[in-house]
Amino acid sequence: MNDSKALTDYLGTFIQELVFNGVEQVVISPGSRSTPFALLFTEHPSIKTWINIDERSAAFFALGLAKASTKPVVLLCTSGTAAANYYPAIIEATYSRVPLIVLTADRPHELRDVGAPQAINQLDLYGKYSKWFVEMGIPENSPGMLQYVKMVAARSVATSLSSPAGVVHLNFPFREPLVPNFEQLNWGLVNGRKNICASTSSVMSSEMIDILLEASRCERGIIVCGSHDQGGFPHAVVRLANMLGFPILADPLSQLRSGSHDMSSVIDCYDTILKSEKAFSALKPDVIIRFGAMPVSKVLTQFISQSLAKYHIVIDSDPDYRDPTLRANYFFHVNEHSFCDEAARILRDVETTTDYLTLWKKLNKLVKPVLLSELKEYMFEGDVIRTLAPVLENGTSLFVGNSMPIRDLDTFYFTNDKDVKIYANRGANGIDGIISTALGCSAHNERLILIVGDITFYHDLNGLLMSKLYNLPITIVIVNNNGGGIFSFLPQSKEKKHFEEVFGTPTNLDYEKVVDMYGGVFHRVKDWKEYQMAIKNSLDMNQLVVVEVPTENRDENVILHRNLWNEAVELVDQYLMEQLT
Amino acid sequence: MNDSKALTDYLGTFIQELVFNGVEQVVISPGSRSTPFALLFTEHPSIKTWINIDERSAAFFALGLAKASTKPVVLLCTSGTAAANYYPAIIEATYSRVPLIVLTADRPHELRDVGAPQAINQLDLYGKYSKWFVEMGIPENSPGMLQYVKMVAARSVATSLSSPAGVVHLNFPFREPLVPNFEQLNWGLVNGRKNICASTSSVMSSEMIDILLEASRCERGIIVCGSHDQGGFPHAVVRLANMLGFPILADPLSQLRSGSHDMSSVIDCYDTILKSEKAFSALKPDVIIRFGAMPVSKVLTQFISQSLAKYHIVIDSDPDYRDPTLRANYFFHVNEHSFCDEAARILRDVETTTDYLTLWKKLNKLVKPVLLSELKEYMFEGDVIRTLAPVLENGTSLFVGNSMPIRDLDTFYFTNDKDVKIYANRGANGIDGIISTALGCSAHNERLILIVGDITFYHDLNGLLMSKLYNLPITIVIVNNNGGGIFSFLPQSKEKKHFEEVFGTPTNLDYEKVVDMYGGVFHRVKDWKEYQMAIKNSLDMNQLVVVEVPTENRDENVILHRNLWNEAVELVDQYLMEQLT
């Protein structure tokens, strides 16, 4: 893409978002490739532009503007060595902690590294001296790309200002035509709403409090808790939820599904409920308050993304921007626990309605018995979790592998009052090194159960040596469907050609032998009773115990999952239809 | 360090070396930290210095000087943003392929990142735009450091000029005092000899030919062949050696110890011979011609390093500088095979003497029977190689693990006329991924034998899956001394405290089980006859066969090695004494 209209919408949206976030001044050094930016900045009614021919002087001049105004100043130049002239001022800005946003225009990808004139490699041009570097996409005006460019604009301002203040570098590749379409320009139209306000302090700013108060007046709000581990947080967030009358959609890694806190507003079947299209639209929230990492549930992520909630607030004690939906319009960089406590204090006297919360609770109650219903004949993978829960004891920890186990945990692990801690590697969601990480955890949690698929188990077989060398006790459950089960849930499974070879990847390994080599005890269980017994016994054996669950074939597993979900979705749909009539 | 004398010697040596390598002009922008360089460059009788106050202009001015003279020009500035002002010209030089050598003065390490004035992070300041970046050591005038600074100077010139020409950046940290000691300055003294002349063409330059002709007039020369694999090279290098009357010290990975080429001047026991101090000094060469990677033998590396040969020439078809001894004074970047052919043509009529060659041959003949003598009672690790050689057949390949196996190969694998190819991972010498690499090779070499220690085998156990999945045949010999054997040869073995836990690292694993899991055949052999049978049979089985050799304990293994070497060294010493009297 990159026609005149797309260019104008894309950059117009970007500029307007900068303005909304407090940018007032732009220092421009003339050039050709930067033409669309130069013209649009100059056109904007509330931006003061300065023209400075020498980029080195321009950058130092912008540094002065930013130093005195204590607001980020934008620098704009064309492609080539022009950008390198900013380097001295950028280094000075870094060490003197002055916020600058550097916009460099660039050739599009197809004209790079092929000897095109004035085309140099501008990626990471300032190395360690830009706090954030972004290679932007080619201008497009699809809703997704406009959301993206707004996010980048707002985040650039926040990042340039966040402690310690410094330099953000955005590199914009442009194709010709380079002239914007002034006739179709509408600053008001291309801007939808204000993105992001960040604070790095540990207490809420007055701006945050104002936003929270406004949000609390909405009737339909949800709290989403992803992977997060902070002592006392479950109690604090539950109190806040009760005060707001919002349900808590609690990811299995939120540590909210097990414990001694009040569970009355904790929803644990949202992943199944939201598989109903009717529920998906009927439950649309106006407020989303999100803690922790993005939840495991894909449909919940879609729900968050498509809700277009008026207040979509992400609370994160680290100055990070974990929101792949690109929909969050507020980031509060504040300690999560403190936020809940302070918010509860602020909202003490707010009145709330509970219809929306009641609906969520009702649907959750409707769905759970279906997910709990027995499937006698099968070694169904979901039962690895369903039959585990009853035998879990206080003080046991669970480490859950990625790919299918974490998803089955999401579907089949329900609220309970046990003291059970749940771990996973969800920073980058890899299947590598899971046994080793779990063994590291087991050094601090004597009764630890690891649940992994057979591919994950194979991947870190060598990790078992640590159990042997240091007598680290662990119970490992292998959900063995002889290959990569998750791919059977994905679209490529419909293409049978090469599927088994490239995605199924059966290893046909008999793990009993390798477990024996590492001095472990191995159980291959035939039914769930044997499985439960093996788990129970293992926790008192104080050594490496591997419990292998040979499950149904992978295709069958998908069908069994879908049957359960379909049954539940039918109940949800039926209930919602009755409500409407 | 960094007193006035050390500073002067170090920088004087550096500058003199630049001059010897063709640098004529330096553009200086004044500053404090760069004082010693500024004064010494100005003092040098054959350097033209230009003073340019503005670093941006200075860099573009230097660019013009270099463009017109087609010789590298040196740029000098002080610490801080001064260096960043060079950036535009550096980028222009990169794209227009103009050689520049940028010297930036810097604060010493203890004054970095602690808010000291004018101290910025100058490491890799120009990112992808410097072809070579070096953070220099603090000035010292030990012989090793002077050798180092000369090497860097010479290499900077060569690298800035090598195709495509461009920018080299050297960052020099200086402590105070910053003023050199002119009284002790002696350009002639601090310089010993000219380092390095590089050519990237595939034919020899006239300069190379002159040097080679001079070198060929010396009586004592050796050819050292490290890891190298190029069809026809063995025949070519042997012809050259015979013409020069030089012995070839052939590393096991040189592919020179096996094959159909003339072996008459190939020395294969140099590692043992040079363990004799008498031989080490009696064999001191005047010429070293080196091909391939650095040899495995540590004592040979020391021999090369300490010989201070008048002509130490490294032939490398890639523009690289593989010489950790820092002693090579000529790098010929020219195709190895072509070099041998062309050199042989040039040297057709050169007369040579053979006394030196004869001595090497005599010692080699003396030593070999000792290394071949039988040790009946033991499962001695050296026998893994000694007893393997007789059963090797034409067309078999050998992959040798790092750590001990490659060293035992060096000691115990002797010249033979078989067609045996030898592989190893000697780029970074890791023990990781050896099984996988060997299996990759086995896909192209059906009869492949891998020899590894048990730790290396454990490290890549998972790699065995590929053999099972793709039916890749391989014979793996595990030299199992239950732990890391090489550490017993190193100084830390004398410190018994924690040694076994931290370096010995016994795993006590029974690999039969895991080999069984991967569908392989496993032999744990009791004696060398059984070992030879197992190997022989395995090569016709067309599958994964693991032959485990449980060896003597690790301490004992060191003693057995040393006994053999001592016996051989005694013979060498005795012979050399007789010769002298």
Q: Which tens digits make up the pLDDT trace of B162-212?
A: 888 999 999 999 998 999 999 888 786 555 555 555 555 667 888 889 999
Whole-prediction pTM: 0.90
* Contact residues, chain A, for B513 at CB < 8 Å: 513-514, 516-517
Which residue shows structure tokens 């929230």? A285
* Contact residues, chain A, for B59 at CB < 8 Å: none
Q: Do A124 and B125 touch (CB under 8 A)?
A: no
pLDDT at A189: 53
Best of A92, A456, A517, A548 to disrupt the B interface (most B CBs within 10 Å) is A517
| The residue type at A135 | E
pLDDT at B435: 96
Do A223 and A356 meet the contact criterion of CB atoms below 8 Å apart?
no
d(CA B266, CA B244): 13
Q: Do B124 and A127 touch (CB under 8 A)?
A: yes
Q: Pick from A78, A121, A77: which is nearest to B166 by CA?
A: A121
- B513 CA to chain A: closest CA distance, Å? 5
Q: Do A514 and B513 touch (CB under 8 A)?
A: yes
- B226 CA to chain A: closest CA distance, Å? 34
Q: Do B517 and A513 touch (CB under 8 A)?
A: yes
- A112 CA to chain B: closest CA distance, Å? 12
d(CA A217, CA A4): 42
- A503 CA to chain B: closest CA distance, Å? 14
pLDDT at B10: 94
What ipTM did this prediction achieve?
0.86
Please report, for residues B37, B313, B357, B539, the alpha-carbon distance to residue B242 in angstroms, rounded to integers and kept in the order given. 48, 18, 10, 37
Q: Do B517 and A514 touch (CB under 8 A)?
A: yes
Do A237 and A261 meet the contact criterion of CB atoms below 8 Å apart?
no
pLDDT at B376: 72
| pLDDT tens by residue, A222-277 | 999 999 999 999 999 999 999 999 999 999 999 999 999 999 999 999 999 999 99
| pLDDT tens by residue, A141-161 | 998 899 899 989 999 999 999
Q: Count A/B contacts: CB-CB distance under 8 Å.
A: 78
pLDDT band with cut points at 50, 70 and 90 for residue B349: confident
- A91 CA to chain B: closest CA distance, Å? 7
Among A459, A469, A513, whose Cβ lies nearest the Cβ of B514?
A513
* Contact residues, chain A, for B432 at CB < 8 Å: none
Q: Do A462 and B465 touch (CB under 8 A)?
A: no
Phi-psi region of A394 (alpha: psi -120 to 50; beta: other; left: phi over 0): beta
* Contact residues, chain B, for A513 at CB < 8 Å: 513-514, 516-517
| The residue type at A4 | S
d(CA B372, CA B240): 30
Q: Do A509 and B465 touch (CB under 8 A)?
A: yes
Q: Pick from B409, B401, B398: which is nearest to B435 by CA?
A: B401
Do B259 and B419 meet the contact criterion of CB atoms below 8 Å apart?
yes
- A494 CA to chain B: closest CA distance, Å? 24
- Using DSSP's 3-state secondary structure scheme, residue A416 falls into strand
Best of B461, B514, B546 to disrupt the A interface (most A CBs within 10 Å) is B514
| pLDDT tens by residue, A281-328 | 999 999 999 999 999 999 999 999 999 999 999 999 888 888 999 889
* Contact residues, chain A, for B84 at CB < 8 Å: 87-88, 90-91
| pLDDT tens by residue, A382-407 | 999 999 999 999 999 999 999 999 99
- Which residue on chain B is closest to A87 by alpha carbon? B84
- Which residue on chain A is closest to B460 by alpha carbon? A462
Among A90, A461, A510, whose Cβ lies nearest the Cβ of B461?
A461
Q: What mean pLDDT do residues B261-279 have?
A: 97
- Which residue on chain A is closest to B121 by alpha carbon? A128
A417 φ, ψ to 5°? -100, 15
Q: Do B124 and A121 touch (CB under 8 A)?
A: no
Q: Which domains does chain A have, with CATH numbers?
A: 4-190 (3.40.50.970), 206-368 (3.40.50.1220), 379-551 (3.40.50.970)
d(CA B136, CA B143): 16
Among A91, A461, A513, whose Cβ lies nearest the Cβ of B120?
A91
Q: Do B458 and A462 touch (CB under 8 A)?
A: yes
Among B91, B469, B508, whose Cβ lies nearest the Cβ of A84?
B91
Is the pLDDT at B405 greater than 70, yes or no? yes
Q: Do B91 and A85 touch (CB under 8 A)?
A: no
Q: Do A462 and B459 touch (CB under 8 A)?
A: yes
Q: What is the DSSP string of A24-69?
A: -EEEE---STTHHHHHHHHH-TT-EEEE-SSHHHHHHHHHHHHHHH
- B129 CA to chain A: closest CA distance, Å? 9
* Contact residues, chain B, for A511 at CB < 8 Å: 517
Among B85, B91, B509, whose Cβ lies nearest the Cβ of A517?
B509
Best of B91, B118, B125, B436 to disrupt the A interface (most A CBs within 10 Å) is B91
Q: Pick from B561, B293, B304: which is nearest to B408 by CA?
A: B561
Question: H or E element: which one contains B168?
Answer: strand B167-173
Q: Tell me whether residue B453 is exposed, middle or buried, using C-beta atoms within 10 angstroms of its C-beta: 0 to 12, 13 to 18, 19 or more.
A: buried
- Which residue on chain B is closest to A501 by alpha carbon? B469
pLDDT at B353: 82
Do B90 and B102 meet the contact criterion of CB atoms below 8 Å apart?
yes
pLDDT at A184: 82
Q: Tell me whether residue A269 is exposed, middle or buried, using C-beta atoms within 10 angstroms of its C-beta: 0 to 12, 13 to 18, 19 or more.
A: buried
Q: Do B518 and A509 touch (CB under 8 A)?
A: yes
Q: What is the DSSP string of A58-120?
A: HHHHHHHHHHHH-S-EEEEE-SSGGGGGGHHHHHHHHHHT--EEEEEEE--GGGSSS--TT--
d(CA B404, CA B566): 19
Q: Do A85 and B90 touch (CB under 8 A)?
A: no
Do B162 and B23 meet the contact criterion of CB atoms below 8 Å apart?
no
Q: Do A511 and B517 touch (CB under 8 A)?
A: yes
- B387 CA to chain A: closest CA distance, Å? 30
Strand partners, A544: A474
d(CA B37, CA B40): 5
Chain B residues near any Cβ of chain A (below 8 Å):
56, 80-81, 84-85, 87-92, 95, 120-121, 124-125, 127-128, 458-459, 461-462, 465, 468-469, 507-511, 513-514, 516-518
Please report, for residues A396, A436, A478, the alpha-carbon distance to residue A540 in angstroms, rounded to integers and kept in the order given. 11, 21, 19
Q: Do A128 and B121 touch (CB under 8 A)?
A: yes
% of residues, chain B, pLDDT over 70: 97
* Contact residues, chain A, for B465 at CB < 8 Å: 458, 507, 509
Do A196 and A330 meet the contact criterion of CB atoms below 8 Å apart?
yes
pLDDT (tens, 9 = 90+) of chain A, 581 residues, equals 668 999 999 999 999 999 999 999 999 999 999 999 999 999 999 999 999 999 999 999 999 999 999 999 999 999 999 999 999 999 999 999 999 999 999 999 888 888 888 889 999 999 999 999 999 999 999 988 998 999 899 999 999 998 889 999 999 999 989 999 998 887 865 555 555 555 556 678 888 899 999 999 999 999 999 999 999 999 999 999 999 999 999 999 999 999 999 999 999 999 999 999 999 999 999 999 999 999 999 999 999 999 999 999 999 988 888 899 988 989 898 899 999 999 999 998 888 888 999 999 999 999 999 999 988 778 999 999 999 999 999 999 999 999 999 999 999 999 999 999 999 999 999 999 999 999 999 999 889 999 999 999 999 999 999 999 999 999 999 999 998 888 888 888 888 888 888 888 899 999 999 999 999 999 999 999 999 999 999 999 999 999 999 997 899 999 999 999 999 999 999 999 998 77
Among B56, B84, B465, whose Cβ lies nearest the Cβ of A507?
B465
- Which residue on chain A is closest to B124 by alpha carbon? A127
- Which residue on chain B is closest to A458 by alpha carbon? B462
Q: Kindly report whether the peptide bond that precedes residue B177 is cis, defined as omega within 30 degrees of 0.
A: yes
Chain A residues near any Cβ of chain B (below 8 Å):
56, 80-81, 84-85, 87-92, 95, 120-121, 124-125, 127-128, 458-459, 461-462, 465, 468-469, 507-511, 513-514, 516-518
Q: Do A458 and B458 touch (CB under 8 A)?
A: no
pLDDT at A199: 56
pLDDT at A319: 81
**Please, which residues have CB within 8 angstroms of residue B269's CB and are 6 or more apart in sequence?**
B363, B364, B367, B368, B371, B414, B568
